[in-house]
Amino acid sequence: MLEASNGSPQEARPAGFLRVSAALAAQSHPHAPVWLEQSARTSQEAADALGVSLGQIAKSVVFRKKSDDSAVLVIASGDRRVDESLLKALTGPLGRADADYVKNRTGFSIGGVSPVGFAPETGGAPQLFIDRELFRFELIWAAAGHPNGVFKMTPAELESLTGAPVIDVVKA
């Protein structure tokens, strides 16, 4: 099911996957991204492909901040829904982010938005938050810049890699 990222030439991988690989290597993350044989655009598809529970998928949910049109990215457990009203208390009014907005603000397509390795031309990382519910799990998996790419970590490693605050932002 899984193929190590070095299982075939890196040049053949998409730019987003390569950026995430480089970002993880630069931070000495112990787990290189892996390339899935099939696309995992949704949390359920990723969980099925990896043989893990839905909650172990660290999904990326992007919002559009109304005050300045900047991006807000919440990394949440795949089995939970982000409560926009809780998030608004920290960011101000939010709007929906369509596929073009997500690509332009993160450098990643929907289904492959990683918590690290944002494209330089996007102006850097969006405002990031990690939902506390991810800490229910010993190991979690996040997108690695493409719907076929994922990487594993502990929730504490996610916090360290991103520097994002851990908050309570999912529906009870």
Structure tokens given for 7: 């299982």
Is 43 a member of any domain? yes
By the 8 A CB rule, do 69 and 89 touch?
Answer: no
CA dist., res. 105 & res. 112, Å (int): 13
Burial class (CB in 10 A: 0-12, 13-18, 19+), 124: exposed
Rounded-to-10 torsion of CA 26, 168, 61, 22: 0
pTM of the model: 0.91
Q: What is the pLDDT of residues 84-132, one digit of tens each?
A: 999 999 999 999 999 999 999 999 999 999 999 999 888 778 999 999 9
In degrees, rounded to 5, the angle at the alpha carbon of residue 79 between the alpha carbons of residues 75 and 82 is 50
pLDDT value of residue 58: 98
Is 172 a member of any domain? no
Q: What is the pLDDT of residues 30-54, one digit of tens each?
A: 999 999 998 899 999 999 999 999 9
Across all residues in the chain, what is the average pLDDT?
92
Bridge partner residues of 143 (DSSP): 150
CB neighbour list of residue 69: distance below 8 Å, 6 or more residues apart: none
Q: What is the mean pLDDT of residues 138-165?
A: 97
Is 163 a member of any domain? yes
CA dist., res. 128 & res. 80, Å (int): 17
Query: How do beta strands 140-143 and 127-131 pair?
Result: unpaired
Structure tokens given for 113: 């938005």
- Please report, rounded to a whole number, the percentage of residues in the chain having pLDDT higher than 90: 87
pLDDT value of residue 114: 97
Count of structural domains, the chain: 1
CA dist., res. 151 & res. 33, Å (int): 4
pLDDT value of residue 77: 98
Instruction: Assign 3 a pLDDT band (cuts: 50, 70, 90).
Output: very low
Domain limits at 61? 2-167
By the 8 A CB rule, do 112 and 36 touch?
Answer: no
Cβ neighbour number for residue 160 with a 10 Å cutoff:
13
Is 138 a member of any domain? yes
HSE-up of residue 96 (Cα within 13 Å, Cβ side): 3
Domain holding 59: CATH number? Answer: 3.90.960.10
